[in-house]
C-alpha cells in the first residue's frame, strides 16, 4: 500500500493575554480526515501537572497534548521577533517532513483534473465510513469490523425506553441553579438523550434538549472525539454508559454536569426487576426542598399624619384604599357616650382647681375633653382636646371603653387625669355590662368588701360601730368613703 503514514499540518496559536493554546489543522480536500479546529482554545495541561507556556514552544521541539505529540517546525516573523525581544531566540525553521502519500495524491489530482489542491472549495468532506459503505451496498459493515450485529437487539428492544428523572445542583457557582432533567436510555441501540424539564415562569429559554440522542461516553476526556459521533469505528462498549450504570440514586456525568438520578418511571422499575432482579421501587431519592419562608416586613411606625389605619393602607396596598369602618358598631352605639368629670393627677397648686369633662364615644372609640370655665382662675375654658382616636400609653393599644371608669387614671397627650365621677347614663351602662366593667358588678364589690373585713378580723357589728363616728346609728357617704380609703379600697 502506498499510504504508510500521514503528515498532518497544524497551526499552533498561543495567546499571551491568558496563556491559552489553540490548534487548527490545515484543511486538505478529500484527505479522509476530519479537519479544522483540532484543539479548542483553553489552558492546555502538561504531563508534569502544569500548563503549556511560551517557554515550551521551541522550533524543533515536541509538545505533548492529550496523548498526541506535535513537533514545531517553524514560526512567523512576529513570533520570532517577540522571542528575540525576550532574549529567547528561536532556531531556524526546519520545514515540514515529506509525505509520500499526500504528494502522490496531489500529483494524480493535478494530472487528472488540473485543479490546485491547496484551494478550499466550500465542501467539507468527512470520513463517514458507515454511511458511505452502506450506500455502496455493505449495509452490515459492523460484522466486517468485528463488532456483533445489532439487528436482533434492535428487533427485540425497539421502542423500549428506560426513563429516569435527574437533578443537577449547580448552585455552588455564580448564577447557578437547580435544574431537573429526564434521561432516556434506548435499549435498541444503547443511546441516550437528556431533556430538560421546564418550569412555568422560570425565566429560562425552553431548549428542547441538553443532549441529543447519541451514545454517551462515561469518560469525559473522550467528549469531542469523532468516535462519539459515530464518525470512526466503535471504541467498545466499556467506554459508554449502558443500563448497568443507570440506577436510582446513582450519579452520571453528562457533558461535565453531575446529574443525580432520583427516580424512574414504572416501566423502568419493572424492567430492572424482571430482567435483572434489581428492585428500585423503594430507592427513590427525596429531592424536594421546602420553600424558604417569605420574610415578613413590619409596617413602619406611624408618622403622625392622618389615622394609623389610613397610613397602614398605603403600606399594604399599591393603591391606598379607604379603611373600612364597623358600620354595625356605628349603628348600635350611635349617640352613646361615656361622660366623666376629671381632674389633673397630682396637679400643681395652680392646676388643682381645674375641672374637666371627658367624653368617650362608643360608636368610633374616640375621646374628647372639655374644660370648665372658672371665674378669676386665669385659665380660659372650652375645648381642651378635640375628638380623636388615641392610644393608651400604658398598654400601647387604642383606648377601649373598659379603660374608662370612676377612679381610673387616664393619660392623654402627656397629661394624666383622675376620673372622679360619671353621669347617670354612664353608671347604668357600666352596671349593665359588668363583664366590661367588673368594678360595677355589685357581687364583685360585696365579695371584695367581705374579704377586706375578714382580713381585719373584726365582726360586721363592730366594724359599723367603728365607721359611725357621730353615733347616729347610720353610716353616711363620707364615713363609708373614709373607711374604704383606710382599707385600701
Please compute the mean of the pLDDT values over residues 389-414 and round it to a whole number. Answer: 88
What DSSP letter does each residue of 336-377 carry, written as one string? Answer: -EEEEEEEETT--TTTTT--EEEEEETTTTEEEEEEPP-TTS
Which residues, other chains included, contact 14 with Cβ-Cβ below 8 Å and sequence gap of 6+?
20, 21, 52, 54, 57
pLDDT at 25 over 50: yes
Tell me if residue 463 falls in helix, strand or coil: helix
pLDDT, residue 422, reads: 92
CA distance 253 to 259: 6
**DSSP strands (E only) in 160-278:** 161-169, 178-186, 191-196, 211-214, 251-254, 257-264
Average pLDDT of the chain is 83
pLDDT digits (tens, 9 = 90+) for 316-337: 888 888 888 889 988 988 889 9
pLDDT, residue 265, reads: 94
pLDDT, residue 453, reads: 72
CA distance 471 to 37: 125
pLDDT digits (tens, 9 = 90+) for 200-215: 888 888 888 999 999 8
pLDDT digits (tens, 9 = 90+) for 32-56: 788 888 999 999 998 788 899 999 9
pLDDT, residue 368, reads: 95
Task: Give the single-character DSSP code of 405.
Answer: -
pLDDT digits (tens, 9 = 90+) for 56-96: 999 999 998 888 889 999 999 999 999 999 999 999 998 88
**Residue 374 main-chain phi, psi, to 5 deg:** -115, 130
CA distance 34 to 137: 24
> Is residue 228 within 8 Å of residue 222, measured between CB atoms?
yes
Helix axes 477-486, 460-467, angle to 10 degrees: 110
Cell 431548549 belongs to residue:
207
Task: Give the single-character DSSP code of 410.
Answer: E
> Is residue 479 within 8 Å of residue 469, measured between CB atoms?
yes
**What is the share, in percent, of the chain residues with pLDDT greater than 70?**
86
Cell 479548542 belongs to residue:
40
pLDDT at 107 over 90: no
pLDDT at 114 over 90: no
Q: 188-197, 392-401, 442-451 — which is least confidently predicted?
A: 442-451
pLDDT at 228 over 60: no
Residue 462: all three cell numbers together: 363592730
**Residue 150 main-chain phi, psi, to 5 deg:** -100, 15
pLDDT, residue 79, reads: 93
Of 30, 25, 22, nearest in space to 7 by CA: 25
pTM over the 0.85 mark: no
223 band by pLDDT with thresholds 50, 70 and 90: low
Contacts by 461-465, CB closer than 8 A, 24 or more apart: none
pLDDT, residue 113, reads: 60
Amino acid at each position: 500500500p502506498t499510504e504508510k503514514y500521514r503528515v498532518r499540518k497544524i497551526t499552533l496559536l498561543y495567546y499571551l493575554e491568558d496563556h491559552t493554546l489553540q490548534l487548527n489543522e490545515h484543511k486538505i480536500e478529500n484527505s479522509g480526515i476530519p479537519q479544522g479546529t483540532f484543539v479548542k482554545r483553553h489552558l492546555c495541561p502538561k504531563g508534569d501537572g502544569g500548563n503549556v507556556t511560551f517557554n515550551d514552544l521551541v522550533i524543533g521541539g515536541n509538545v505533548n497534548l492529550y496523548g498526541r505529540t506535535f513537533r514545531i517546525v517553524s514560526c512567523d516573523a512576529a513570533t520570532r521577533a517577540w522571542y528575540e525581544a525576550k532574549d529567547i531566540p528561536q532556531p531556524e525553521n526546519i520545514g515540514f517532513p515529506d509525505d509520500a502519500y499526500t504528494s502522490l495524491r496531489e500529483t494524480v489530482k493535478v494530472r487528472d483534473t488540473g485543479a490546485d489542491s491547496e484551494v478550499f472549495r466550500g465542501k467539507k468532506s468527512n470520513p463517514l465510513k458507515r454511511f458511505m459503505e452502506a450506500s455502496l451496498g455493505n449495509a452490515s459493515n459492523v460484522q466486517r469490523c468485528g463488532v456483533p450485529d445489532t439487528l436482533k437487539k434492535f428487533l427485540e428492544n425497539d421502542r423500549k425506553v428506560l426513563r429516569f428523572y435527574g437533578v443537577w445542583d449547580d448552585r455552588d457557582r455564580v448564577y447557578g441553579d437547580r435544574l431537573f432533567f429526564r434521561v432516556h436510555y434506548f435499549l435498541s441501540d444503547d443511546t441516550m438523550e437528556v431533556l430538560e424539564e421546564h418550569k412555568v415562569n422560570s425565566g429560562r429559554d425552553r431548549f428542547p434538549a441538553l443532549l441529543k440522542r447519541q451514545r454517551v461516553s462515561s469518560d469525559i476526556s473522550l467528549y469531542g472525539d469523532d468516535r462519539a459521533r459515530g464518525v470512526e469505528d466503535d471504541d467498545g462498549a466499556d467506554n459508554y454508559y449502558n443500563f448497568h450504570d443507570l440506577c436510582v440514586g446513582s450519579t452520571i456525568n453528562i457533558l461535565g454536569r453531575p446529574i443525580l438520578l432520583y427516580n424512574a418511571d414504572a416501566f423502568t422499575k419493572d424492567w430492572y426487576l424482571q430482567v435483572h432482579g434489581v428492585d428500585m421501587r423503594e430507592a427513590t431519592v427525596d429531592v424536594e426542598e421546602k420553600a424558604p419562608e417569605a420574610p415578613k416586613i413590619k409596617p413602619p411606625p406611624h408618622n403622625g399624619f392622618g389615622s394609623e389605619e389610613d397610613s397602614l393602607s398605603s403600606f399594604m396596598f399599591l393603591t391606598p384604599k379607604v379603611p373600612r369602618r364597623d358600620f354595625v358598631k356605628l349603628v348600635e352605639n350611635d349617640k352613646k357616650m361615656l361622660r366623666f368629670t376629671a381632674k389633673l393627677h397630682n396637679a400643681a397648686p395652680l392646676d388643682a382647681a381645674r375641672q374637666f369633662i371627658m367624653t368617650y364615644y362608643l360608636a368610633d372609640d374616640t375621646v374628647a375633653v372639655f374644660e370648665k370655665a372658672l371665674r378669676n382662675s386665669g385659665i380660659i375654658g372650652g375645648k381642651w382636646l378635640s375628638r380623636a382616636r388615641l392610644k393608651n400609653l400604658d398598654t400601647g393599644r387604642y383606648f377601649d371603653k373598659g379603660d374608662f371608669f370612676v377612679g381610673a387614671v387616664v393619660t392623654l397627650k402627656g397629661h394624666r387625669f383622675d376620673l372622679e365621677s360619671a353621669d347617670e347614663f354612664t353608671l347604668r351602662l357600666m352596671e349593665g355590662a359588668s363583664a366590661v366593667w367588673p368594678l360595677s358588678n355589685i357581687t364583685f364589690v360585696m365579695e371584695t368588701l367581705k374579704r377586706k373585713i375578714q382580713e381585719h378580723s373584726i365582726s360586721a357589728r363592730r366594724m359599723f360601730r367603728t365607721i359611725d363616728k357621730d353615733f347616729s346609728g347610720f353610716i353616711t357617704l363620707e364615713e363609708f368613703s373614709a373607711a374604704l380609703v383606710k382599707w385600701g379600697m
